[in-house]
């Protein structure tokens, strides 16, 4: 796919499909129907049912945080992921998948400890990070893919 090839992004608000050139993702495109921002600047909740659209179909790399609300290290990573999502808007989509509510994808990727962060690019697994990391260390691990 070239940098100008259009991608289809589903609006997080109205679910309308929008064709957007990959080169425009940094510019913050909005939905043609409801004008909601199409590129998130904060982590997006993803479920087993939404995986194909939110992760496999994303035109940009996706970092999936496999977590659970009872997990202390997962709660420690939350502000780091919030900051990372804001800093990498248009280059990286940060998502969160609750493993208690969505066991299918956690099982598919053999997530046995949380937090586990997995980076996907066009549906292909590129990097796996287990455990909590400081933001600088996390950015260093992700840098080759962004």
The pLDDT tens digits along the chain (146 residues) read 445 567 777 787 788 888 888 777 777 788 888 988 878 788 989 999 989 988 998 888 999 999 999 999 999 999 999 999 999 888 899 999 999 999 999 999 999 999 999 999 988 999 999 999 999 999 999 999 88
Please, which residues have CB within 8 angstroms of residue 49's CB and are 6 or more apart in sequence?
A: none
| Active site annotation includes 34 | no
CATH numbers and ranges of domains, the chain: 1-39 (2.30.30.380), 40-145 (3.40.30.10)
Contact 101, 113 (CB under 8 A): no
| Active site annotation includes 74 | yes
pLDDT at 5: 65
**3-state secondary structure (DSSP) of residue 122:** coil
pTM of the model: 0.84
């Amino acid at each position: 796919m070239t940098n100008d090839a259009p991608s289809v992004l589903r609006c997080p608000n109205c679910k309308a499909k929008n064709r957007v050139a990959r080169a425009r993702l940094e510019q913050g495109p909005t939905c043609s129907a409801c004008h909601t921002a199409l590129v998130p600047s904060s982590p997006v909740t993803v479920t087993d049912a939404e995986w194909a659209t939110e992760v496999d179909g994303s035109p940009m790399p996706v970092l999936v945080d496999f977590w659970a609300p009872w997990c202390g290290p997962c709660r420690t990573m939350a502000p780091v992921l919030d900051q990372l999502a804001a800093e990498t808007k248009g280059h990286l989509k940060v998502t969160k998948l609750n493993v208690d509510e969505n066991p299918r994808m956690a099982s598919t990727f053999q997530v046995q400890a949380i937090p586990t962060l997995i980076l996907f690019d066009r549906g292909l697994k590129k990097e796996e990070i287990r455990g909590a990391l400081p933001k600088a260390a996390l950015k260093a691990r992700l840098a080759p893919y962004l």
